[in-house]
Structure 1
Amino acid sequence: MNYTYKNIWLINFPVMMSILIEQLINITDAIFLGHVGEIELGASALAGIWYLAIYMLGFGFSIGLQVVIARRNGEQQYSETGRAFFQGLLFLSGLAVLLCSISKTISPMILSNLIASEKVYFAVIDYLDWRIWGLMFSFPFLALRSFLVGITLTKPLNKAAFTAVLVNIPCNWLLIFYFDMGIAGAAIASSFAELCSLIILSIHVLRKMDRKVYGLNWKFDKNIFHHVCCVSIWSMFNPFIGVASWFAFFVAIEHLGELELAATNVIRSISTFFFVIVNSLAATTGSLVSNLLGAGQKNQVFPLCNRVIRLGYSVGIPLIILFIILKSATKLFSVLLASKRP
């Protein structure tokens, strides 16, 4: 296995688009709710980060699952990749049910003590009452994504990503404005978009993948289940803690005022593009390194990591420069506009 820059990017791009799904859904919600009011826009930020923190528990587990699948793929034990996938799917589905139940019970009690504005609090609960059910679709999607990334067949993730965005945008408009459901409509649209992306990816795996070759026989295996959990359970908490710190930041901003919270939500939505690039490259690297180790090509690991680092800088630095230019241009435009006022 010799992964060139082109190979790495072709594998990484669909992964990046699939990670972008969750961020684009939040951005779309913010855009539409910005036309509803400051309270709804700010509440969607708090509720979105709360949901994202819970989502990161499943995301972290899927990273470990992906490593196990990639290792078996590198060892050419293809039937073991499907068996590992099913054990991960089973765990993530059960975790989704558990977290939905816990969130429905505990979220109102915790958030009522953290959020200062009563209006913002009720808007957050309205959003979470519908949004939290998205875990039932996003966690199985994570298992499917881990399987496809682990075996380095990532192209189907593009279809799932575009489906989610194309469904979310019109559904947001219909539910928020046409049916006048407000912030609850945004939550329903987001969860429905995740369901659609899950359906697209499930159809591909069931119809296009060779079930015999990849061991997709939906059989519970106690030993594999234990191994997957031992590897994956520890990768759950790092991304969760990272997003939880963001939630603490948004709670602090909420105490400054509803307008400040709404403005911060817009800025965070823009900054997530950098988050998506870094996380997609990290996920791709984990999969490719595991494949190399499984194939016994340890000497290729560091050259691969160097290529990924260079690729990350080559994509990230132009974006940073572009944002600096846009920021400077915006300030200059504001100064010129202010000077022309009487």
Structure 2
Amino acid sequence: MDFIQKRELILNGNMRKVILTLSLPIMLNNFIRTIYNLTDTFFVSKIPGNAVAGVQFIWPLIFLITSFGIGMTVATSSIIAQYIGAQMQEKARKTAGQSISFLFVLSLVLGLIGYLGAPTIIRAMGGTGELYDNAYAYLSIMFLGMPTTFLLNAYNAIKQGQGDTMSPLIIGALSIGTNIILDPILMFGLDMGIQGAAIATVISTGVFAVYGIITTFDEKQSLKLELSDLKFNKEILMKIVNIGLPSSTGQAMTAFGFTILNVFLVSFGEVTLTAFAIGNRISSLIMMPAMGIGNALATIVGQNLGADNVSRAKLAVRNSTIMSTIFLVVGGLIMLPFVQQIVKAFSTDPEVIKNGTEYLTMIIYGIPLMGFFQILVGTFQGSGHTISAMILMMGRLWVLRIPMVYMLSRLEGFGPSSIWLAMIASNLITCLIGLGIYSTGRWQSKIIKQKKSVLEDLSAA
């Protein structure tokens, strides 16, 4: 099904079928990625010392750097979706080309900055001894391989904007499959340890990112790119930046917020950090449907707004909310009786099992809120109103969660539980705020007819 047929489905097809058609490949891609993360965590846990804590400790730093690229890919997908909805294919094609060039250059700059600053940042976060050694060994490789991540994200955004969620699934599955094969070979066969895990990720991502980008120039592509599309175009580039900057800021501040959260986790001991890492990997399995639906919703909202069909965009939001909630509740109820046994598969430390079981149980109880959050963010990102998404992402962590953790952790009897409680409470309040923003209806205006700067969009939000 080419993007013209997919556009017809998105604009006129049965809404639940549209949501499932677009979201199922994303869910499967997320599932494969989650299985990889769990497999990667399993292999890393077999390295002598607490290598899992080292990876978890610096993961927010990697997310911090990649968040700048993620924001631009959100803008790319939103713009392409609305241009296709408005039947402006040439503009969509040029936007795709600009995204590839800009993200490649941006990744080189950010990767170099991250690599040079990594030792100072890790120490500033409290990383010492074995924790520092493991963190730096992994982080330095990941920063050097940053262009591979950015290019793969660019490919995924271009395809998602067209409503093609199957191609990213195929590329992602091949990349992750290669990664899983390389992990034990490099980590244990070649005795590269935690560095081997990072190198495996960079190689597997890089090979298929380059392949994916090359295919966008293929004659068989419905939205075939030309080499001339890669030449910088100020007007299109500024549109991507203006729309992507708030999303990048929100993603970056979220990543930085989780870096601060890791500092709190380390203060309770590496056992708590490990429990948090294992719990997150497992809970991501339940979250897959909501994340898939949220990502698919962004495309559906974008194309329908581009076609001036606001009522259908609203219908997509309602159906997505219902379907996401059902998936999450059912998934949580299935997993709940087996939480402790699942955590035990990743650790034999009694304290890690205790903390990981408590954390995962509490997350399951509050998981519908995380799904609603994904729907709200998907709606605002798909419409191109990334200021609203930024408010939700930053507010949830900086205004609510981190202050809650700080206050609760100082009360006797809470300990690590303060983090788990703060996560649920911040999700609830954020969803209520997001619902209020959604109710204003400002997200319904098209970005492809606007020429506002970020500051002007901020004042309108």
| Alignment TM-score, normalising by the size of structure 1 | 0.88
- 1:149 Cα deviation after fit: 0.8
For residue 155 of structure 1, what is the aligned residue in structure 2?
A: 166
- 1:297 Cα deviation after fit: 1.5
- 1:249 Cα deviation after fit: 2.1
For residue 281 of structure 2, what is the aligned residue in structure 1?
A: 269
Query: Residue 89 of structure 1 aligns to a residue in which SS?
Result: helix
Unaligned runs of 5+ in 2: 1-10, 344-461
For residue 233 of structure 1, what is the aligned residue in structure 2?
A: 245
- 1:116 Cα deviation after fit: 4.4
Report the more deviating stretch, 172-181 or 103-112: 103-112
Unaligned runs of 5+ in 1: 332-342
Question: Residues 16 and 238 from structure 1, CA distance in 2 versus in 1: closer, same or farther, beyond 3 angstroms?
Answer: farther
- RMSD of the alignment, in Å? 2.4
- 1:329 Cα deviation after fit: 7.1
Report the more deviating stretch, 304-313 or 219-228: 219-228
Does residue 35 of the first structure (1) align with residue 49 of the second (2)? no
For residue 194 of structure 1, what is the aligned residue in structure 2?
A: 205
For residue 335 of structure 1, what is the aligned residue in structure 2?
A: none
Structure-1 separation of matches of 2:258 and 2:183: 25
1:254 to 253, 256, 266: 266
Does residue 2 of the first structure (1) align with residue 51 of the second (2)? no
Does residue 113 of the first structure (1) align with residue 120 of the second (2)? no
Structure-1 separation of matches of 2:67 and 2:43: 24
Does residue 318 of the first structure (1) align with residue 330 of the second (2)? yes
For residue 59 of structure 2, what is the aligned residue in structure 1?
A: 48
Report the more deviating stretch, 90-99 or 11-20: 11-20
Structure-2 separation of matches of 1:329 and 1:123: 28
| Alignment TM-score, normalising by the size of structure 2 | 0.67
Structure-2 separation of matches of 1:116 and 1:144: 35
Q: Is the 8 A contact 1:80 1:215 kept in 2?
A: no
Structure-2 separation of matches of 1:278 and 1:216: 35
Letter aligned with residue 12 of structure 2: N
Structure-2 separation of matches of 1:119 and 1:293: 52
- 1:241 Cα deviation after fit: 2.4
Q: Is the 8 A contact 1:23 1:272 kept in 2?
A: yes
1:65-104 alignment to 2 at 5 Å?
65-104=76-115
Does residue 59 of the first structure (1) align with residue 42 of the second (2)? no
2:256 to 211, 230, 244: 244
- 1:80 Cα deviation after fit: 1.4
Question: Residues 272 and 57 from structure 1, CA distance in 2 versus in 1: closer, same or farther, beyond 3 angstroms?
Answer: farther
Letter aligned with residue 250 of structure 2: N
- 1:330 Cα deviation after fit: 7.2
- 1:184 Cα deviation after fit: 0.5
Identity of aligned residues (%): 18
Question: Residues 61 and 280 from structure 1, CA distance in 2 versus in 1: closer, same or farther, beyond 3 angstroms?
Answer: farther
Question: Residues 6 and 302 from structure 1, CA distance in 2 versus in 1: closer, same or farther, beyond 3 angstroms?
Answer: same
- 1:84 Cα deviation after fit: 0.3
1:123 to 118, 134, 138: 134
- 1:42 Cα deviation after fit: 0.9
- 1:20 Cα deviation after fit: 5.5
Report the more deviating stretch, 25-34 or 71-80: 25-34
- 1:187 Cα deviation after fit: 0.6
Structure-2 separation of matches of 1:25 and 1:53: 21
For residue 317 of structure 2, what is the aligned residue in structure 1?
A: 305
Question: Residues 275 and 54 from structure 1, CA distance in 2 versus in 1: closer, same or farther, beyond 3 angstroms?
Answer: farther
Question: Residues 139 and 209 from structure 1, CA distance in 2 versus in 1: closer, same or farther, beyond 3 angstroms?
Answer: farther
Question: Residues 52 and 22 from structure 1, CA distance in 2 versus in 1: closer, same or farther, beyond 3 angstroms?
Answer: farther
